[in-house]
Amino acid sequence: MAKWDNMLSMLWMLRSGRKLTAAQIADSLEISVRTVYRYIDALCASGVPVVAESGHDGGIRILESFEETPLFFKSVELKVLMDTYKFAQGAGYPYTEELESALKKVENGLHDEQCDDLSRQTGGLDVISPESSPSVVPLLRDLEQAVNDGRTVRIVYRKANAEQADEREVDPYGLAYDRNEWYTVAYCHRSQAVRTFRVDRIARLEQIEAWFEKPERFSASDYFQDQSERERAADGPPTVIPIEGEPDTLNAICGHWHMRHYLMQRTDREAQFLLDVPTMNKHLPRYLLTFGTAIRIREPLALKRRIRRWHRQSHSITISETIELH
């Protein structure tokens, strides 16, 4: 058994309130009496008030004033905890205050040498993430609560590039964080199907007096993966689709939860995607039209033709007003 496991086992034995001799502890842990005394010194150095009393009624015990704290983390384990907090904070995790409070309790149980070592080890890593709206935090809390309670919520949601937000009732099945964005996977009552909603596009959320039963063993991350694999499994040869545009526009396309799985390479002014033909024909024309003149598509010819067909069917905008198809 490793040293740290032995020390923790010894601490549990002493916390029973009984006085134990070094020989009793040594026999129980199958270590030497000399090792027991080394562990006692280590526990004392960590702030555990271990008392060794000599004489007939003597023994080893812990003072009643001792409150158990997580003292037996290895140095690298403490570093991992602190680094995890940085990542959670950068991701906009909705419980960072509670996480910080928990870590403070850990730090309070460390002695000076451990604190100095932790400071040295964690000083070289920072997590830089795009700023997220403060309103996302209460939304994430409310959505998670709705997931746990199985409660339907009414949201006001604005799709990408949509002029107006619309209202719908959804059953949140789970939350997922992917590429600096939070999503909720939910059953949409209006669409009568499971849909994905970006949390920062929810303008308002309210609970209603309606309840749902989440599918057994549902996983938001599995849903994302299954959707991508389902699309990838479509029949048809793959084709390269180069899309030109400004960096911000390309960021939006490359960051789309579905499109990013097909990204081959990217420069400041061009992104190349590898899609099978059925997926390209089914999804891309309508989606790309929402970006208007901000993007340019030069090939493949089949995609350009389908986009033109969408224009003719919509009768709402002319080709020249919408997208460059040079």
pLDDT of residue 150: 96
Residue 128 maps to a domain: no
CB-based contacts of 120-125 (< 8 A; 24+ apart in sequence): 121/75, 121/76, 121/78, 121/79, 122/79, 122/82, 122/83, 125/83, 125/86
One domain for residues 262 and 218: no
- Nearest 5°: the CA angle 98, 101, 104 is 155
Q: What percent of the chain clears pLDDT 70, i.e. is strictly above it? A: 87
Last-in-domain residue among 204, 224, 244 = 224
Of residues 171 and 51, which shows the higher confidence score?
A: 171
Q: What is the mean pLDDT of residues 139-160?
A: 94
In a domain, 296, yes or no: yes
CA angle 240, 277, 220 (to 5 degrees): 95
- Inside any domain, residue 70: no
Residue 145 domain-assigned?
yes
What CATH number corresponds to the domain at position 57? Answer: 1.10.10.10
Between CA 279 and CA 4 the distance in angstroms is 55
Q: Chain-centre distance of CA 267, in angstroms?
A: 27
Q: Is the pLDDT of residue 227 over 90?
A: no
Rounded distance, CA 80 to CA 86, Å?
10
Which of 173, 203, 224 finishes a domain?
A: 224
Does 166 map to a domain? yes
As a whole number, mean pLDDT of residues 8-30 equals: 83
Helices 75-90 and 112-122 sit at what angle, rounded to 10 degrees?
50
Cis bond before residue 300 (omega within 30° of 0): yes
Is residue 272 a part of any domain in this protein? Answer: yes
Could you tell me if 185 and 176 are in contact, meaning their C-beta atoms sit under 8 angstroms apart?
yes
Report pLDDT for 249. Answer: 92
Q: Tell me the C-alpha distance between 191 and 36, whole Å.
A: 66
Residue 92 lies inside a defined structural domain of this protein: yes
> Is 70 exceeded by the pLDDT of residue 70?
no
Q: Are residues 258 and 212 in the same domain?
A: no
Whole-number Å distance between alpha carbons of 66 and 14: 11
Tell me the two tokens of residue 223.
Answer: 């849903």
67 found inside a domain: no
Write down the pTM of the prediction.
0.58
122 contacts 140 by C-beta, under 8 angstroms: no
Q: Do 9 and 44 reside in the same domain of the chain?
A: yes
For 261, the 3-state DSSP assignment is helix
What's residue 288's pLDDT?
85
Number of domains comprising the chain: 4
Got the DSSP string for 101-165? HHHHHHHHTS-HHHHHHHHHHHTT---------TTHHHHHHHHHHHHHHTEEEEEEE--TT-SS-
* Exposure on the CB side of residue 130, measured as CA atoms within 13 A: 9
Do the Cβ atoms of 319 and 311 come closer than 8 Å?
yes
Q: What integer best gives the mean pLDDT of the chain? A: 83
Residues 201 and 174 in one domain: yes
User: What percentage of the chain has pLDDT greater than the value 90?
Assistant: 29
Which domain, by its residues, includes 108?
Answer: 75-122
* The pLDDT value given to residue 314: 62
Residues 204 and 238 in one domain: no
Token pair, residue 163, equals 């002029």
Q: Are residues 31 and 109 in the same domain?
A: no
Exposed/middle/buried for residue 205 (C-beta within 10 Å: 0-12, 13-18, 19+): buried
SS (H, E, C) 22-55: HHHHHHHHCCCHHHHHHHHHHHHHCCCCEEEECC
Is the same domain home to 202 and 153?
yes
175 and 145 within one domain? yes
Last residue of a domain, which of 23, 40, 62?
62
Whole-number Cα distances in Å, 301 to 4, 204, 239, 251, 308 = 66, 42, 11, 24, 11
Average pLDDT over residues 22-35: 89
pLDDT at 193: 93
pLDDT band at 324 (very low <50, low <70, confident <90, very high): very low
**pLDDT of res. 234:** 52
Q: Does the pLDDT of residue 318 top 50, yes or no? A: no
